[in-house]
Amino acid sequence: MTNDTHETQRFHAEYKVIGGKLVVADVETDGKTITEVKISGDFFLEPEEAYFDLAPALVGASVTADNANLRQRLDTALAGYGSELAMHGFSTSDIATVVRRALGSAANFTDFDWQVIRGEVLPTQVNVALDQVLLEEVAAGRRKPTLRFWEWDDTATVIGAFQSYVNELRPEGVEKYGVQVVRRISGGGAMFMEGGNCITYSMFVPPSLVAGLDYEESYVFLDQWVLAALKSLGVEAFYKPINDISSTGGKIGGAAQKRLRDGTLLHHATMSYDIDADKMVEVLRIGEAKISDKGVSSAKKRVDPLRSQTGEARKDIIDVMANTFADRYGANFDTFTADELDKAQALVDEKFGTEKWTHRVP
C-alpha cells in the first residue's frame, strides 16, 4: 500500500481461484470508500460488455464491505445480461474475495521465507505442545512461517479443544490399548493416531496470508499444495466444506485451525494412511458413526485411503508433500530449536499432560 498527498490509498492483490483462473484487483480508496478499481485476469467473460460493468459496481462500496455486500453489488450490475452472461474460471464471489484481499493488504505464499520441518519422532503430547509453541514463535517474529510434519510412535487419540472426553472415548478401549489421550488447542474432531497410520502436518501462518479470506476459503487456500502433491501421486483430491479432504476414492482426512488474537494462524490436517478401523471404534465412541456415515463397514480391518490410492510408502508420500511445498514456495528445510523443544516439554508438564487440561470438557 502507498499513500499520495491526496490521501488516496492504493492496493493490489492477486487470487488464483481454486480450480479456476487468476483474478487481480487494483483498488484505490479515500480511506472510507472505494473510489476506483480495476479487475483483470486470465478468466473468460461473455458478453464482453459485462466486463466494463464490474468496476463501476464496486465504486462507492465501503472499505469494510464484506464478501456478501460486494458480491451483491456485482450481481445486481450483471443481472441485466440474464442467460447471456457466462463467467468461466471465476465468479462474482471470487472478485469480491480478491478485492477484500487487496484492501487487507494480503500477501502471497511466496512473499515469505518458509521453513519446512520433517521432524523427529516425538511423543504425541510433545507434538501437540509444539503446535502452540511454534504458533506463538511465529506470532512473535522469532520463527519464520513454518510447515512441519509430525512423527510419533506411540498410540494416541488427539481430541479437539471443545470435545467432551466422556462422549468421545471408550475407557475400556483406552485402557486396553494403552492410548495416550491428548487435547489440542484447535477445534474439530478426534484423531486416532498409531505410529505410521496417518500423515499429520501443521502450518504456522502470518495473518496477511489469509487476509480477505473467510473461514471456509482459508482452508482450501492453505492446502492447495497438498492437493497438488496428491494429484502428482495419482489421487484426485478436493475439499468438502468446511474442512474435509476427500477424493474420488472417498474421504482422506480433515483439517482444523486455531487463530491467535493478532490473526496468526495454526492450520493443521491429518490424513489416513493405514488405520485399524476395528481398533479405532474400540477407542472412539464417535468412530462407529463416522465410519457408517462414510459408507465403510465397521468390520473393515483397515482404513487406508492414502496407502491404497497411491500404493506408496508413507515416507515417500511425505517426501512428495514436503518437496511440493518447497518447490512451489521456495521453502528451506529446518529443524526445531532446543529452546522450542524445551518450551514444548514445559507445556506438556504444565498443560497438555495434565488431567485438568485433558478433561477440561468432561
Q: Is the confidence at residue 2, as pLDDT, over 70?
A: no
Map out the domains of the chain with their CATH numbers.
9-103 (3.30.390.50), 109-359 (3.30.930.10)
Query: What digits encode the pLDDT tens for the residues 332-355?
Result: 999 999 999 999 999 999 999 999
**pLDDT tens by residue, 187-207:** 999 999 999 999 999 999 999
pLDDT digits 0-9 by tens, 88-132? 999 999 999 999 999 999 999 999 999 999 989 999 999 999 999
- The DSSP element (H or E) to which 316 belongs, if any, is helix 314-329
Q: How far apart are CA 53 and CA 50, in angstroms?
A: 5
Q: What is the mean pLDDT of residues 67-94?
A: 97
Tens of pLDDT, residue by residue over 309-336, are 999 999 999 999 999 999 999 999 999 9
Return the closest-CA partner of residue 177 out of 195, 165, 199. 195
> Angle 218-150-214 (CA atoms, 0-180°, nearest 5)?
5
Q: Could you read off the pLDDT of 253-296 as tens digits, one per residue?
A: 999 999 999 999 999 999 999 999 999 999 999 755 555 555 44
* pTM of the shown model: 0.89
Euclidean distance between CA atoms 70 and 55, whole angstroms: 11
Count other C-beta atoms under 10 Å from residue 5's C-beta: 5
